Structure 1
């Protein structure tokens, strides 16, 4: 062990972090497709089911900047151990929630404790050279996709909606098991990677937010993240209800659909994103990803059959897969090494805020306008996001 080079240590750390991400997201992905049916088992209407998604996002909104700054201060490893284990226990609490209101509470606490994505991103950025970050963030995205591929399929197989709320306890226990396994992996295998913090007082959070929105790249990235994630979160919250009404789908069909799309996402993020970025650069790949997402929304809204809807879903998955690693890489490249967790945490909090509003308005659109109205709204939101991506591209070309 003592003879290992820094590069070998970094490669080992990369493998462990990707494994932790996979286990953690598999547990998260296992629950997401089941939530609409879990809510219905508690006799919740569509708007309350949407709030189940928003409660988690509200917790993440508060948790991401807190845990991001904490990871810069005390280290990535202890923050990951606390948040992953706490998130796992929140699934157990959700499994025993007798009412929708206690389910809201469990989801909020789970969201706060699971506000650790920026910490994982920071740990990955710590061991990666700036020019390699988009590719490595793509690998991280691939681990996410594999988790979403495996998790929903397991959740669909383990769920028994005919038993009411009890029929969802086994998949929730499985999600908790994935989380506890992730926490154990961090405790045993992950070494501290945080750069030595600079001396002096920390920048107040409101000042850090002003810095972010004064930066020509970070500000645009955060706006793109917000308006695209809010639209996508609305679709995510109502997708199970939409497919049930449109195609008669249940938890198993949803789980296998997510699994199939996860294969595509894993390939795009593990192999395709890095190659595209090396050839075309982050701004161009980001723009292409947004256009693909826009096309996918149209396919899904106008789909006459589930086959066409899955083509649209694939376009959205492809766009997301090449888009979001670029957003993260652009922020990390524009951020000092000792403030990676802080600025990545701000963006993750920004995205969590988007996930609060998205499900709420999507639930209202589903009930009052049209079950597929969220697809139209998301397509509209992506257009100004694409314009901002083009501005980043032009700015990058001028600076080159």
Structure 2
């Protein structure tokens, strides 16, 4: 593997690990700085999570546009330096306001996943883009698995230890990137900075005007809203239905993360060769509908644990959609597109938990007309079916001006 690609994958993995590293200590840390109980800490924890997602939503297009103008290398390296400093500030934070500031800065720097995706698009041939986006998804999955595990172990050394570890990881990767990362933006694809293109509303409107891309962005958003059912509901659903302990919840999420890494890092290539990008998206949607229905009706915790890694099989959807959309725009718009996709995912992270937790509450409340704890998964399945209907209505997937009629995979 080329060293720049390794740096990109490590950057995405460290972003995911950095979030997961601090999750195990956040309840204790918030209680420590607030002097409040667990309920109040949970409330502040939700606020911090929303702030983080909101910053990603707002700043992903800006970082993507900046990378189209000034290059991927400076955006990625500067963000790692700022991220390192941010974790150090959070490590010594003595008030909730410093933690809020830390999540604001952390959300902005985490928006560089759009730049990492744009870099991968720059160095990939058209037929390789979906598979290479799958590598990024696999790296994120591994970070998702490793982060909470390492964070839980480091928590034994105090609530601040995971923050110092996250800072060290960001610093080490920044040094590595300084020596190996080559710039991919040249005068051929560089374009002027436009503030209209550097905000979510402006970039949605601009990209939505491209033939066929608007419906694809809608499909991506609907699917992301459905997918967020896992982090939103999984712990509550398994506790309500099967009395799972936090340890069992962590194990199941670890299995899911590993399975996603296997699918997006390895299985996606033969699937793309067999089905093509469009076929992979269709297969993934049908598979996800089946998975959500099964999760909603399964009656045994053992069978749910067996089903958990299989739930990752539809994970080809995101990289396949990214590959299709990356081909639909010019080489000088890759950062803008990836920034938009990161913003869409962040917006889904803001919207979906409200929908899914409301559905869970409505059907598990003592006064519920029907007791149906799996209702959020049925809702997610319905959303995936809607996304599939929109995708099928598009017809032939669009291609940009710089893409030839070479095979998709």
Superposition TM-score, scaled by structure 1 size: 0.83
Alignment CA distance shift 1:216-1:385 (3 Å): farther
CA distance in 2, matches of 1:267, 1:194: 31
Are 1:395 and 2:391 counterparts? no
- Find 1:151's aligned residue among 147, 152, 160: 147
- Return the offset for 1:38: 6.9
Alignment CA distance shift 1:314-1:295 (3 Å): farther
Alignment CA distance shift 1:266-1:334 (3 Å): same
CA distance in 2, matches of 1:383, 1:211: 27
- 1:274 is matched with which residue? 269
CA distance in 2, matches of 1:101, 1:244: 32
1:337-391 deviation line (CA, Å, top 9, x unaligned)? 1111012111211221111112233344444543644323212211110112223
- Find 2:9's aligned residue among 2, 18, 23: 18
- Find 1:239's aligned residue among 234, 243, 246: 234
- Return the offset for 1:198: 4.8
- 1:84-103 residue pairs with structure 2 within 5 A? 84-94=80-90, 103=99
- 1:81 is matched with which residue? 77
Alignment CA distance shift 1:47-1:304 (3 Å): farther
Q: Decide whether the 8 Å contact of 1:23 with 1:181 is kept in 2.
A: no
- Return the offset for 1:266: 1.8
- 1:43 is matched with which residue? 39
Is 311-320 or 61-70 further displaced after alignment? 311-320
Q: Decide whether the 8 Å contact of 1:289 with 1:319 is kept in 2.
A: yes
CA distance in 1, matches of 2:79, 2:129: 24
Are 1:176 and 2:190 counterparts? no
Q: Decide whether the 8 Å contact of 1:42 with 1:100 is kept in 2.
A: no
Superposition TM-score, scaled by structure 2 size: 0.82
Is 81-90 or 263-272 further displaced after alignment? 81-90
- 2:212 is matched with which residue? 217
- 2:255 is matched with which residue? 260
- Find 2:64's aligned residue among 42, 65, 68: 68
Unaligned 5+ runs, structure 1 = 1-9, 161-165
Report the number of matched residues.
384
- 1:186 is matched with which residue? 177
Alignment CA distance shift 1:183-1:282 (3 Å): same
Q: Decide whether the 8 Å contact of 2:212 with 2:397 is kept in 1.
A: no
Q: Decide whether the 8 Å contact of 1:296 with 1:313 is kept in 2.
A: no
1:4-35 deviation line (CA, Å, top 9, x unaligned)? xxxxxx93322332233333323234345776
Alignment CA distance shift 1:199-1:174 (3 Å): closer
Are 1:27 and 2:21 counterparts? no
Unaligned 5+ runs, structure 2 = 32-36, 365-372, 400-404
- Find 1:356's aligned residue among 350, 354, 365: 350
Are 1:58 and 2:54 counterparts? yes
CA distance in 2, matches of 1:390, 1:105: 43
- 1:381 is matched with which residue? 383
- 1:6 is matched with which residue? none
CA distance in 1, matches of 2:28, 2:227: 19
- Return the offset for 1:58: 0.4
Is 70-79 or 247-256 further displaced after alignment? 247-256
Cα RMSD over matched residues? 3.2
- Find 1:337's aligned residue among 316, 325, 331: 331
- Return the offset for 1:36: 7.3
Is 43-52 or 379-388 further displaced after alignment? 43-52
Q: Decide whether the 8 Å contact of 1:21 with 1:140 is kept in 2.
A: yes
